[in-house]
Chain A
Amino acid sequence: MSALARAAAEGTVLAPTGSSLVLALVVGVLFATGTYLLLQRPLTRVLIGLALLTHAANLLLLVAGGLSGAAPFIGDDGSVPERMADPLPQAMALTAIVISFAVSALLLAVAYRSYALTRDDVVQDDPEDSRIAHHVEEGPS
């Protein structure tokens, strides 16, 4: 067994687990502002809210992975830096960043189309649903 594998088996390679209060607060602020914008009617605001939520979620992934550490690179000689940041959450967050970029772009196209059709990008109430709600207020026929 190589020195590297042994070190890995003993669990001494990675940065220690544990949370940082400051980062947890940043996550909270991003979730709050993101949710606030998500609940708006203009599609652009919803979109910005979604982007903020994405940042929040990615940071959460990373924070959950442990404390900060050295970049997860292995030296040419196979040496591993001490206290390496956990690479798995990074890989997941990377995937998430790209996907959310694609989704944002698609939603922007929807906003653009909505604007082109209605001269506005405000989400209207679903007419079918409002009809039901209205029907109930009037009393069943």
Chain B
Amino acid sequence: MLAVLAAHAGLAVLAGLLAPRLGPRAFYVAALAPLSGVVLALAAAPDVLAGRAWGREVPWVPGLDLTVALRLDALSLLMLVLVSGVGTLIFLYCASYADRDSPLVRFAATLTAFAGAMVGLVLADDVILLYVFWEATTITSYLLVGLSDEDRTARRAAMQALLITTLGGLAMLLGLIVLAQQAGTTRLSEIVAEPPSGALVTAALLLVLLGALTKSAQVPFHPWLPAAMAAPTPVSAYLHAAAMVKAGVYLVARLAPGFAELSWWRPLLVSVGIATMLLGGWRSLRQHDLKSLMAYSTVSQLGFLTAVAAWGSAESAVAAALLLLAHGFAKAALFLTVGAVDHAAHTRDLRLLDGLGRRMPVLAVAATVAALSLGGVPLLLGFIAKEEVYTAFAEAEGTFATVALAGLVLGSVLTLGYAGRFLWGAFAGRPQPSGAEDLDAVPAGERAVAAQDVHAPGAGLVAPVVVLAAAAVALGVLPALLDPLVSAVAAPYPGAGEPVHLALWHGVTPALLLSVLTLALGVALVAARRRWGLLQRSVGRVLPQALDADRTYDAAVYGLDSAADVVTGRTQSGSLPRYLGVIALSATLLPLGGLALRGADLAPGVIVDRPVQIGVGVVIALAALAAARTSSRFAAVLMLGGVGYGVAALYVLQGAPDLALTQFLVETLSVVIFLLVLRLLPRRFPVQTRRSRLRRAAVAVTVGVGMTVLTLAATSVRVRPSVAEEFVARSKPEGGGLNVVNVILVDFRGLDTLGEITVVLIAALGMSSLVLTLRRGRPGADGPHDAVRREEPEVRAP
């Protein structure tokens, strides 16, 4: 499994390197990556289908308990077939589709990297690893959607996809961490096997599901998916049909065995899924762009998948597995069809495509098969899947199951409707203009592209579609081939018993009757195409625009931008005093707040230790106040010196002669240096307004009072005797000195002193560079620069 991931990484680099030389054929090389995934799937299949999952663990960051834990079970196998199997076909298709002038290096490398991330995602068993691959697909998807980076629409679409899915991704990370904490393990398989419970777990699951729902474009996060159609069509086929958008469904299916019995799980997820299905189907029926039609169809089908996967019974798991396969095959085939049509006719507008089916019969037949499979027509895989869905919901108990079933049937009718619309739009001839209003008629001023205007698409564009359609037929006629896979997928669910037997004919069951009903209504919907279009338009006019999720997204992004602007403008005023004031206040008020919550004894030990301290203290206070008040620089510095000497006196009184000595020396030196610099500066400080003075004073008084309180508290909260006892005891025998402070400085805490000396050295370097550079740069000064300039030989004209 690691080898497959490594192959993807290596081939991503290789394809990027080869693309300039080989052109689009680099995709043939890159196709080896998904092919390695197929090989892995085939190799693992016998074990996995027998119920023995493949596992692999490599320590990653042992200190953080992070492991590269991979696990290949039946669900992963199913996803691997989709990701790598469909992926291989899409890579081959790309080799015929991509132009030489498209950014091939980025295209090939990113697509291969994406395939690798997707394989990693479905194999990951460690939740953190899962998240890493999850975001890797988000980032590669961002790059692929924005592949044509000169295009404004593409950039916006890429950004929208990125913002929405990372929003979900971050929520998911938070949820996964909490979930892992509660479960006591980061292994997904173990979490699901022994699900934790509690309010915190519910919150964590909701966060994780937010990630799943954004990734799978569920209402109300769906708008990014249709927008992402700005990507090249094979990218859409891969990311937005077969692989990436399924990640959310995959995660739901992963968690369902453990958590589907939670009271809120089914109502929430199944409702969201059905709402998405209906909305996607409704919107799809109004699109003119074939690719947008497919995009909304995907939204709709993802809703379908989410609802079925979330139901979480053994029967629905079988149905979800079949549906995943059926949709992956059919939708990828249809997207690739759109690409081939676009390639041939240079338009995807179904109003302009006139009778292309005659020109490309093979493609038309294959696409028809795929579309009918999507719609759930018998003899195709989609029918088997839909039958299983209906059975699972019809056999489930409770009103909610019935309501959900009704929603699913309605959604399936819409599915047939847009599948028919797609075929009619892509391949059928345009109707003769009649008097009746037809929203799908050729727009005024445009000319339809007729069959004779286009060239037939090359075999490279048609073959993958045919393969996918053939798979849908083969599995639809012989569904028993899938028995082992779906049985294994359903095994972890409670109530899974004997192996599943899929068959074309189950006898007359409620599911069959519902299928017949769906087909009848669907055909009616296709037949009434024109009138239905007008009806939808009238309904659309009635609905308020606030319901448009895309507008909400725009408003949210704009609001966020302006809010950030305002916050930055307010907090980042550029004024150093204001910044320092905020820091000073926070540094005082936060500890005081903590103190107030905790409570502390503020009573001082003594009023005064030695009476002389009062006199010295008063002198210091007066000098400090004078230093703050005076507007003369000179006086301020002298007052500062006064404070320094006063403090030195306090040191003496406190019993710290060393400190006092140092303080005297430093203070004297400081005053001298200060005066040296002050010689140059103006004598007086600039005048400040009364208001700013008061504001500063208010902050200052707050800090002063706060620090007094903290000083008193600091002495009363002491619980242990000073470690200095030991220093005193060891000073002579071990340090060989009688002055304990000195021994501490050079011996016990010698590293502190080393740091101190370093600071002094760096400050000295800084000072000399500041002062000396200045002297050199001053115009007219006799610095080395001037000397050099004078010696420069003059250039003379010959």
Contact = CB atoms under 8 A, between A and B. Distances in A.
Contacts of A52: 624, 627-628, 640, 643
A67 B771 contact: no
A39 B581 contact: yes
A108 B745 contact: no
Contact of A24 (B662, B712, B722, B764): B712
B432 interface: no
A87 B744 contact: yes
B700 A36 contact: yes
B724 A23 contact: no
A133 B647 contact: no
A64 B608 contact: no
Interface stretch (B185-193, B378-386, B648-656): B648-656
Contact of B636 (A48, A97, A101): A48
Contacts of A87: 724, 727-728, 740-741, 744
Describe A's contact surface by its main secondary structure: helix
Contacts of B731: 74
Contacts of B727: 87-88
Interface in B401-440: none
B702 to A, nearest CB: 8
B690 interface: no
Interface in A90-141: 90-95, 97-99, 101-106, 108-113, 115-117, 120-123, 125-130, 132-137, 140
Contact of A31 (B580, B647, B707): B707
For B674, B685, B688, B724, the residue with the greatest tally of chain A CB atoms inside 10 Å of its CB is B724
Contact of A48 (B561, B640, B704, B708): B640
A25 to B, nearest CB: 6
Contact of B680 (A95, A109, A115, A122): A115
Interface in B729-774: 729, 731-732, 738-741, 744-745, 749, 752-753, 756, 759-760, 763-764, 766-767, 770-771, 774
B591 to A, nearest CB: 13
A129 B727 CA distance: 50
Given A23-B613, A28-B705, A111-B681, A123 B738 contact: no
A68 B625 contact: no
A97 B666 contact: yes
Contacts of A92: 752
> Which bracket fits the contact residues of A?
35 or more
A19 to B, nearest CB: 4
B659 interface: yes
Contacts of A135: 565, 569
Given A21-B608, A125-B574, A33 B628 contact: yes
B717 to A, nearest CB: 10
Nearest to A29: B621
A112 B605 contact: no
Given A38-B584, A109-B770, A27 B745 contact: no
A112 B651 contact: no
A94 B745 contact: yes
Contacts of A130: 573-574
A35 B704 contact: yes
A102 B760 contact: yes
Given A66-B722, A109-B767, A51 B670 contact: yes
B658 interface: yes
Nearest to B775: A116
Nearest to A128: B574
A17 B650 CA distance: 17
Contacts, number: 350
Query: Which of B654, B721, B739, B770 is most buried by chain A, counting CB atoms within 10 A of its CB?
Result: B654
Interface in B677-719: 677-678, 680-682, 685-686, 688, 696-697, 699-701, 703-705, 707-708, 711-712, 714-716, 718
A110 B770 contact: yes
A19 B709 CA distance: 11
B605 A17 contact: yes
A36 B657 contact: no
A33 to B, nearest CB: 4
B585 to A, nearest CB: 9
Given A9-B725, A78-B732, A101-B669, A91 B749 contact: yes
Given A26-B617, A55-B647, A64-B711, A97 B663 contact: yes
A106 B770 CA distance: 9
Contacts of A76: 738
Given A19-B712, A59-B647, A101-B669, A133 B771 contact: no
A127 B584 contact: no
B677 A112 contact: yes
Nearest to B684: A42
B627 A33 contact: yes
Given A19-B605, A32-B701, A135-B569, A88 B729 contact: no
A34 B643 CA distance: 11
B697 A98 contact: no
Contacts of A106: 763, 766-767, 770
A32 B636 contact: no
A109 B771 contact: yes
Given A11-B721, A24-B604, A30-B624, A111 B650 contact: no
A97 to B, nearest CB: 5
Q: Chain B CB within 10 Å — which of A22, A37, A74, A136 has the most?
A: A22
Contact of A72 (B637, B707, B718, B739): B739
Given A23-B609, A40-B577, A58-B659, 12 more contacts: A11-B725, A20-B609, A27-B711, A32-B703, A44-B637, A52-B627, A64-B718, A72-B728, A94-B659, A99-B756, A103-B763, A113-B774
List the 3 shortest-distance A-B pairs measured between CB atoms, nearest first.
A18-B605, A32-B704, A136-B569
10 contacts: A4-B729, A13-B725, A19-B605, A71-B655, A74-B731, A87-B727, A101-B669, A102-B763, A106-B763, A130-B574
